[in-house]
Amino acid sequence: MNNNADKSWLISEEGFNLTGASETRFAVSNGYFAVRGTTEELYDSETPGTFVAGVFDKWRAAVTELVNLPYPFGMRIYIDREYVDLRQCNVNEHKRELDMYSGMLTREYLVTDARGRSMRVKTVRLASMEEGRRHLGAAHITVICENFNGVICVEQFIDCNVYNLKNNPNERERHFHAVTYADDIYAAVVCETKDEKYNVSIGVGANVSGVRNGNHIGRHSRCFDNFTAIYDDFEVQEGTIIQIERITTVQRRGELCSPEICEGLELGWDKISTGHCAAMAEIWEKANITIEGDPEADRALRFCIYSLICSANPSDESVSIGAKGLHGEGYKGHVFWDTELFMLPFFTYSLPDYARTLLSYRWHTLEGAKKNAELGGYKGARYPWESADTGLEETPQWGFDYKRNKVRIWTGDIEIHITCDIVYALREYYLATGDEKFLKERATPIILETARFWASRLEYDEKRDVYEIKGVIGPDEFHEHVDNNAYTNSLVKWNMLYAAELSDDTEEAKIWIKMAEKIFIPRSGGLIEQYDGFFKKKDVLVTEFDENHMPLWPEGVDITKLSNYQLVKQADVIMLMHLLDGEFTPEEMQKNYIYYENRTMHKSSLSPSMYALLGVRTGQYGKAYTNFMRTVMTDIADNQGNTAHGIHAAAAGGAWCAMFYGFLGVKVDKNGELTVNPWLPEKWKKITMNFYFRGERMRLTCTKDGFELENLG
Amino acid sequence: MNNNADKSWLISEEGFNLTGASETRFAVSNGYFAVRGTTEELYDSETPGTFVAGVFDKWRAAVTELVNLPYPFGMRIYIDREYVDLRQCNVNEHKRELDMYSGMLTREYLVTDARGRSMRVKTVRLASMEEGRRHLGAAHITVICENFNGVICVEQFIDCNVYNLKNNPNERERHFHAVTYADDIYAAVVCETKDEKYNVSIGVGANVSGVRNGNHIGRHSRCFDNFTAIYDDFEVQEGTIIQIERITTVQRRGELCSPEICEGLELGWDKISTGHCAAMAEIWEKANITIEGDPEADRALRFCIYSLICSANPSDESVSIGAKGLHGEGYKGHVFWDTELFMLPFFTYSLPDYARTLLSYRWHTLEGAKKNAELGGYKGARYPWESADTGLEETPQWGFDYKRNKVRIWTGDIEIHITCDIVYALREYYLATGDEKFLKERATPIILETARFWASRLEYDEKRDVYEIKGVIGPDEFHEHVDNNAYTNSLVKWNMLYAAELSDDTEEAKIWIKMAEKIFIPRSGGLIEQYDGFFKKKDVLVTEFDENHMPLWPEGVDITKLSNYQLVKQADVIMLMHLLDGEFTPEEMQKNYIYYENRTMHKSSLSPSMYALLGVRTGQYGKAYTNFMRTVMTDIADNQGNTAHGIHAAAAGGAWCAMFYGFLGVKVDKNGELTVNPWLPEKWKKITMNFYFRGERMRLTCTKDGFELENLG
């Protein structure tokens, strides 16, 4: 089925290790629903996660969160009515392998129980990427009885005993009521979320597709209030091979899934997997990048791209990609600026229909953004720092520190740059696609409303005759309540000027231009000061690194008082220099890069990609490569230490950005002129990728000797 | 608290081994409720069992079964919000110890997590044996933080995600609906069984009784539809010691447990445990037996007695002891002849008030027994082979073999000797206690109704002028549908004659006597033939034994056709010779003992005790001791291989019988004359026990030189 099954397409794991990071890496997801890579048996040390994009609920939780739904991939095997619990057995072999090309996860193990009975089990699972079939999951299961006679029972179950924040005794929550069903065809559950009354219907059906040297005795089912299952019993002997096809349906609706389960069973594994693989192949044809000469970077960048592909659904404009993909509960499934500035470029150039869908999410949530502005006493639209299903601000106002002291969280109030970040992505999409219809109908209303917000948000300083933005948080969250963050002020200025271009209301546009021109940007001798007074903070340099090349805290730093230092959490000024690179000279860029790079802790996974990108632009090639490897390895090496909570989708998108804008040096100016200016690290022999530009398919091939840009039409 | 904490009172386990047999051995039970010895954390490989005597339900199950209720002893510990899962940690030490004297289970472990944080945890748990407090469970918990600073969260939970037959995918069932509650004082659940509408109210409360070198931050709770918990957070440092008292209430009622939880919290661990220990001490004063010179036998017999003590509640006449105690789901919690013929003697002589209560259960279920007779077309009362809450026959008519073929189960139809067995126990109780009131009011109605049953059940053979009982199963279940089982026929005869003695209706009594005298008993040259034609079956001898001294199948035996052999599952003729020993000469007893002993597979745990008992009587001393050790070790060594399903209460009671009637040679004749005729195995130096006889307290001390029987008044 997969002709590309060489190692560059595989993410593998040997041994029976159940880690949260592996659950994230081995999630199967199609942007509509996702199931974390927990075992079929579902051991209680695992953290199952089943998510449906857009299904949020608050109830007793601090904030609205992506709902962890019943686990639909359950399967347990019983030999003579004894459950084969791998933790109680000798696990002779255990391997999991994600084939990114086919988007299928294989697990294979050989297990010997305490009575010496050995069994080999292989499961292949997928979440269909085929259009019209994204509600379908499928699995192909092979059980080989190695050395015993008896009866094997295979249980296919849905387990509703799942929680959000399962392992946090203070905040654990179950967000749905479940009604379970079972008959001889399928087991099913219909969920209703507690606050929001979203419905999700989940079902499992199975076909015994083959039994060799054995006998399928029969099928029965059992249904409990939080657990439902179907069972197949087999008479087996040494050498018996059982093959089962399992169909899972996950749908946003309140009716039973019976028709879809039956449809899925009729289609069968072959048709479903073939359709899914064809869809994946089509996507890879558009989205793949190869780096010849550096297998580690090549495979890791592919995993970044794979993670992005699996997180988006081009058919649903009501949802966008959360900071952790659909792969975990981290950040509650909320959507941040991560999507627009880090992930969107990949979609804009590789899968522009996906990009349009993702940006439409902001259009659909414009009313919520207007409400946010109004609640703050402002005009226009302020997009929420954390967004869920309505566009209303979802950032919690309060959290708890580890001693359960209440701590005020300010990002939802004052990390306002998200609003101009969205506008930036809208323009980037327009420049790359020339999608006039989208610009007119969906982007422009957003852009005008955001400019109205900024006009009302700016504070005029009569003495200096400047507009200021005080009391914000910039991208660098080590420093809160700062005035005139260079990044924010520059993007706001740009946002207002761009809005003025698009506006039909010349009076309003004139005011925006006048105000924008007077927005204060702190500079000091070629160095951009991150915000008013940043250069007066204590200066310390990053000099030590851990085994993943991640910075260690400089000696003597009091990490409870980070606002006193010039240490930076993540790219802030450097991010600005990428987005508005036309406004800075090469010398300024280099000077700022060196200054900030030495002071950046990369405590956000959004950081290394920007230092990779700007590293190439500023000739800091060593730093560029180090930071590129940091960003592509984020989830493979778990170098942020929290891959268990979901993929770092912005690091994945940022890796693509570092490749595209950085190493390949692609640039589209405001007139829509595309230029390429590649630089390749020493190891790299050749980079190949396709992308879309203004509706045309381009193939870009770069070597150390130059590049070729073909228009494939 | 316990001055007897030498090894003879302790059942210990070293290491972190979670076996079903240990869950049974370490159950805490007071006859009102029981909780199996699963860990506080409740790992999913464990088989939790929480039972309330008399709470049965059928719903979708094959037969009415003792309901597995929510697990009320749950406790998990989180360090900085990470669950300390022992399976993911280095378990440096782990020990469990049941102190039979105090009836308390201690668990202590030292664990180091993946981050190197070490914690020592000690829990002591009990189910109160104090009268008026049998609804109370209590635990004392100590957590010692060995080497870290942070926050420890202690979660006390009730888990409703429990099943009957959890590990059997074909028959797994949940028999109750649960409604959960939680507030800052307690977490609770109210259950209603699905068919029978029994209510059980369970609650958990906790008091932080001490924190040294640390700080109790606060209390909160969380409640889900199938799980409810209270939480205490502690700021800890190296050396912090936390002490918590947990109160659990388990009650048969439909109202919330809040008053009892508050009462329990007010009483506190000290008062509850002191009261419980005083009750235990009082029981042991009556029930203990010591065997000097044989520590293994001494401790094992004590464990048998302990198991019986914990299985009975002298305050509830509506329940009796199931074949597996209250310690597991084996035999569905049903009551068999095990109770009357194997367990009752212990209670009759050591705790006669318990015996009266247990026998009263048969009086309360007499209506059910009459219904059974009526349904079979007979008169009088036929007690069910398996009894639950009504006295109606609860034996399933159909079961499944391992290939899920339907198999007819006949014991409920034709293993009718249970009815005369109950009468035997009633007479034994009367002879030992002289309880005329009970004899008149409760025993006599039963005895008369059973005689009426037998009179209608007997079949007259005109040719031989005898009464026969055809088509039965005797105690030996290897042979079904047999005619004239010697055991059954002899006991029926005895039953009818005894009824005639007690009857006021001389006409009816005369008929009974006439019929009884003509009941056919198969004998053949001094050998009792187990049933008509037994001696014509293929003859094979038992010659090989396993490591637990249990018989192995003789070579060549086809175990699917056991009815073709003279192999015997368990004591049958030998059991008869114990019960009606006056009817056999010493020579007959010896001859039969040798014959049947060589052909008994001991595939029932009821068997070895009778061979021990009769071994002494017939001078087969080696066999007597071997079989005594088999029966006392049944659950400690798990020599039947199924201790996981519950204790072998009949083996425990049988061990007591073997000691009392066998080694000590105590006999009470039908005139109420008590004689003692001890024989001690070589190792044994001295046996000491107290018992009650006709309301007087007796102390019996035996050595090889003789015995002393003191009347303590």
- Quick: pLDDT tens for B502-513: 999 999 999 999
- Alpha helices by DSSP H, listed for B376-485, are 411-414, 418-433, 436-438, 444-457
Looking at per-residue pLDDT, the higher value among B2 and B675 belongs to: B675
SS (H, E, C) A674-700: EECCCCCCCCCCEEEEEEEECCEEEEE
B225 and A163: CB-CB below 8 Å? no
Q: Which residue has the tokens 């202690």?
A: B154
> Sorting pLDDT into bands at 50, 70 and 90, what band is B548?
confident
Instruction: Please give, rounded to a whole number of angstroms, the shortest distance from the CA of B169 to a CA of chain A.
Output: 7
Query: Which of B68, B88, B224, B329 is the best substitution to test chain A (most A C-beta atoms within 10 A)?
Result: B224
Q: How far apart are CA A407 and CA A397, in angstroms?
A: 8
DSSP A392-420: S----SEEE-TT--EEE--HHHH-TTHHH
**CA geometry: angle A550, B147, B243, nearest 5 deg:** 130
pLDDT over 60 (residue A55):
yes
C-beta atoms of A155 and B169 within 8 A: yes
Of B418, B556, B550, B414, the residue nearest B471 (C-alpha): B414
Residues near A84 by Cβ (< 8 Å), separated by ≥ 6? Answer: A76, A77, A78, A111, A113, A119
Q: Is the pLDDT of residue B374 over 80?
A: yes
- Among the partner residues B82, B172, B222, nearest to A172 by beta-carbon distance: B222
Residue to substitute from B402, B405, B406, interface A, most A β-carbons within 10 A: B402
The answer to whether B410 faces chain A, any CB pair under 8 Å, is: no
What is the Cα Rg of chain B in Å?
A: 26
In percent, the amount of chain A with pLDDT more than 90 equals: 93
Distance CA B189, CA A663 (A): 62
Over residues B212-241, the pLDDT tens digits come to 999 999 999 999 999 999 999 999 999 999
Please name the residues in contact with A585: beta carbons below 8 A apart, sequence gap of 6 or more.
none
Partner B contacted by A184 (CB < 8 A): no
Predicted pLDDT of residue A402: 64
Q: Is B477 a catalytic residue?
A: yes
- Minimal C-alpha gap between A26 and chain B (Å): 21
- Whether A85 and B45 lie within 8 Å, measured CB to CB: yes
Average pLDDT value over all residues in chain B: 96
d(C-alpha A443, C-alpha A348), whole Å: 14
**B87 reaches A (C-beta below 8 A):** yes
Q: Do A169 and B85 touch (CB under 8 A)?
A: no
Note the pLDDT of residue A406.
Answer: 85
To test the contact with chain B by mutation, choose from A17, A39, A40, A44 the residue with the greatest count of B C-beta atoms within 10 A, namely A44
Please name which of B257, B249, B210 lies closest in space to residue B232, comparing C-alpha atoms.
B210
Eight-class DSSP state of B451: H
CA distance B414 to chain A (A): 29
Q: A39, A59, A81: which to substitute to probe chain B, counting the most B Cβ within 10 Å?
A: A81
Nearest to B173 by CA among B72, B57, B253, B254: B57
Nearest to B428 by CA among B571, B581, B550, B289: B581
Per-residue pLDDT averaged across B302-326, rounded? 98
Asked whether B194 and B176 are in contact (CB, 8 A), the reply is: yes
**Which pLDDT score is estimated for B401?**
74
| A168–B81 C-beta distance less than 8 A | yes
A170 and B85 within 8 Å at the Cβ level: the answer is: no
Q: Given an 8 Å threshold on Cβ–Cβ distance, is B235 in contact with A403?
A: yes
H or E element that contains A377? none
Catalytic residue among A192, A235, A317, A477: A477
Q: How many CB pairs under 8 A join A and B?
A: 92
Q: Which of residues 135-154 of A touch B (CB under 8 A)?
A: 150-151, 153
Maximum pairwise Cα distance, chain B: 91
Please report, for residues A651, B104, B332, the alpha-carbon distance to residue B415 in angstroms, rounded to integers and kept in the order given.
Answer: 73, 39, 18
Instruction: Answer whether B78 touches A (CB < 8 Å).
Output: yes
Is A83 in contact with B167 (Cβ distance < 8 A)?
A: yes
B151:A402 CB<8 A: yes
Residues of A631-668 as b/e, b for ≥16 C-beta within 10 angstroms?
bbbbbbbbbbebbbbbbbbbbbbbbbbbbbbbbbbbeb
Q: Which one of B45, B169, B173 has the shortest CB-CB distance to A153?
A: B169
Mean pLDDT, residues A551-571 taken together? 94
HSE at residue A370, side-chain half, CA atoms within 13 A, is 11
Question: What are the residue ranges of helices labelled H in A26-95?
Answer: none
Chain A, nearest residue to B164 by Cα: A224
Q: Give yes or no for a contact between A662 and A615, defined as CB atoms under 8 angstroms apart.
A: yes
Closest CB to B233: pick one of A78, A88, A404. Answer: A404
- The mean pLDDT of B286-300, rounded to a whole number, is 98
User: In chain A, what residues touch B169 (CB-CB under 8 Å)?
Assistant: 76, 78, 81, 83, 153, 155, 222, 229, 231
- Cβ separation A151–B404 shorter than 8 A: yes
Tell me the whole-structure pTM to 2 decimals.
0.89
Helix (H, G, I), strand (E, B) or coil at A637: helix
Query: How far apart, in Å, are the Cα atoms of B472 and each of A239, B423, B492?
Result: 43, 19, 13
Chain A, 115 to 134: residues with Cβ < 8 Å from chain B are none
B169 contacts chain A (CB < 8 A): yes
pLDDT confidence tier of residue A114, bands split at 50, 70 and 90? very high
* Structure confidence by residue, pLDDT tens digits, B625-674: 999 999 999 999 999 999 999 999 999 999 999 999 999 999 998 888 99
Residue A581 burial (CB < 10 Å; 0-12/13-18/19+)? middle
Q: Is the pLDDT assigned to residue A2 strictly greater than 50? A: no
Residue of B nearest to A223 (CA): B173
Which percentage of chain A shows pLDDT scores above 70?
Answer: 99
CATH 1.50.10.10 fits A288-711, yes or no: yes
Q: What residue spans define the domains of chain A?
A: 7-285, 288-711
Residue B4 has a pLDDT of: 46
pLDDT surpassing 90 at residue A564: yes
CB neighbour class for B291 (10 Å; exposed up to 12, middle 13-18, buried from 19): buried
β pairing state of B667-668 and A241-251: unpaired
The whole-angstrom distance between A594's CA and the closest CA on chain B is 36
Query: With an 8 Å Cβ cutoff, is B217 touching chain A?
Result: yes
Contact at CB, A153 and B174, closer than 8 angstroms: no
Top-confidence range, A102-116, A404-418, A522-536, B520-534:
A102-116
Residues in chain A with CB shorter than 8 Å from the CB of B87 are: 45, 87
Distance from CA of B23 to the nearest CA of A (A): 16
**Which positions in chain B touch A235 (Cβ < 8 Å)?**
403
Percent of chain B with pLDDT over 70: 99
- Look at residue A6 and tell me whether its pLDDT is greater than 80: no
Q: How close are the terminal C-alpha atoms of chain A, in Å? A: 29
Q: Within an 8 Å CB–CB cutoff, is residue A558 touching chain B?
A: no
Under the banding of pLDDT at 50, 70 and 90, the label for residue A713 is confident
Residues of A with Cβ-Cβ distance to B174 under 8 angstroms: 224-225
Q: pLDDT, tens digit, for every residue of A127-167?
A: 999 999 999 999 999 999 999 999 999 999 999 999 999 98
Active site residue: B108, B468, B477, B588, which one? B477
Among partner residues A43, A170, A217, which is closest to B403 by beta-carbon distance? A217
Strand B71-79 to B82-83 pairing: antiparallel
Task: Check residue B402 and give its pLDDT.
Answer: 64
- Across the range B164-191, mean pLDDT stands at 94
Domain B7-285 part of CATH 3.40.50.920: no
Average pLDDT, chain A: 96
Question: Cβ contacts of residue B83 below 8 Å, gap of 6+?
Answer: A167, A169, B76, B77
**ipTM of the prediction:** 0.81
If you average pLDDT over residues A308-315, what whole number do you get? 97
What's the average model confidence in pLDDT over A490-504?
A: 98
Max CA separation in chain A (angstroms): 91
CB A702 within 8 A of CB A678: yes
Chain A interface, mutation test: which of B80, B83, B234, most A Cβ atoms within 10 Å? B83
Collapse the DSSP code of A431 into the 3-class scheme (helix H, G, I; strand E, B; otherwise coil) and give the result: helix
Statement: residue A494 has pLDDT above 60: yes
